[in-house]
Amino acid sequence: MSSHRGAIIVLEGLDRVGKSTQATKLIDWFRKQGLLAELIRFPDRTTLTGQMISDYLGGKVKLNDHLVHLLFTANRWEKYDEMIEKVQSGINLIIDRYSYSGVAYTAAKGLDVDWCKAPEQGLPRPDCVLFLDYDFQKTNQYREKFGEEIYERTEFQRSVYEVYMKLRKPNWNTIESNEKSIEQVHENIIEIVQKNLKQIPEEISKLW
């Protein structure tokens, strides 16, 4: 690693594509290398905003789409100081979902992408984005993986995917997830992460 700070590594993708599994495995890998690493999942449902988000996702309350987006954004801002402090102290942060999810899921409802991005501006920019891709054309098993939360519907996930494709940048690392085993995906991720760790800048950049 070219600097003394920790890296910010984000896993993105649709629901149920294996982000949480891969995030946990990545944490284990870092620790086996003798490197400090911690996992952050968004939304963080332990905070006040997180509890409101959890009730919304569980269908317990109905909220305006603009308000929902701002709640998700506030949930990330709640972690801002903690994230900066940890990274500057040399801890690598593995983040399961981040601002890109927030924009993709809200814009999939028809809200303006630029409006969705605005409140996220100033949050730490990831050093590495790992996008777990899912090809709807290659499998018909996606529907069977869903749970009961309001976003876990196949057609909505297709809309989210379309927004992701518009948000995706050339420096994103795309990994096909539906035709590979958990270990194969993990190996791909480790290869990418090892390369990225060699070129982490000293300063933490900001979105966007």
CATH code for position 90: 3.40.50.300
Check residue 179 and give its pLDDT.
Answer: 80
Check residue 113 and give its pLDDT.
Answer: 98
Residue 183 lies in a domain: yes
Residue 47 lies in a domain: yes
Mean pLDDT, the chain, whole residue set = 92
Does residue 81 contact residue 124 with C-beta atoms inside 8 Å? no
Check residue 177 and give its pLDDT.
Answer: 86
Residue 153 lies in a domain: yes
DSSP the chain: --SSSPPEEEEEESTTSSHHHHHHHHHHHHHHTT--EEEEESS-TTSHHHHHHHHHHTTSS---HHHHHHHHHHHHHTTHHHHHHHHHTTPEEEEES-HHHHHHHHHTTT--HHHHHGGGTTSBPPSEEEEEE--GGG-S-GGGG--SSTT--HHHHHHHHHHHHHH--TT-EEEE-TTS-HHHHHHHHHHHHHHHHTT--SSPPB--
Does residue 84 contact residue 8 with C-beta atoms inside 8 Å? no
pLDDT digits (tens, 9 = 90+) for 41-64: 999 999 999 999 999 999 999 999
85: domain range? 8-197
Check residue 134 and give its pLDDT.
Answer: 83
pTM of the model: 0.91
Residue 3 lies in a domain: no
Residue 206 lies in a domain: no
Confidence of residue 85 (pLDDT cuts 50, 70, 90): very high
pLDDT digits (tens, 9 = 90+) for 150-163: 666 788 999 999 99
Residue 66 lies in a domain: yes
pLDDT digits (tens, 9 = 90+) for 11-43: 999 998 999 999 999 999 999 999 999 999 999
* 66-75, 78-87, 117-126, 168-177: least confidently modelled range: 168-177
Check residue 144 and give its pLDDT.
Answer: 54
Distance (Å, rounded) from C-alpha 137 to C-alpha 134?
9
Domain count, the chain: 1
Give the mean pLDDT of 126-135. Answer: 94
Give the mean pLDDT of 132-157. Answer: 68
Residue 204 lies in a domain: no
Is residue 1 predicted with pLDDT exceeding 50? Answer: no
Number of Cβ atoms within 10 Å of the Cβ of 19: 23
Residue 114 lies in a domain: yes
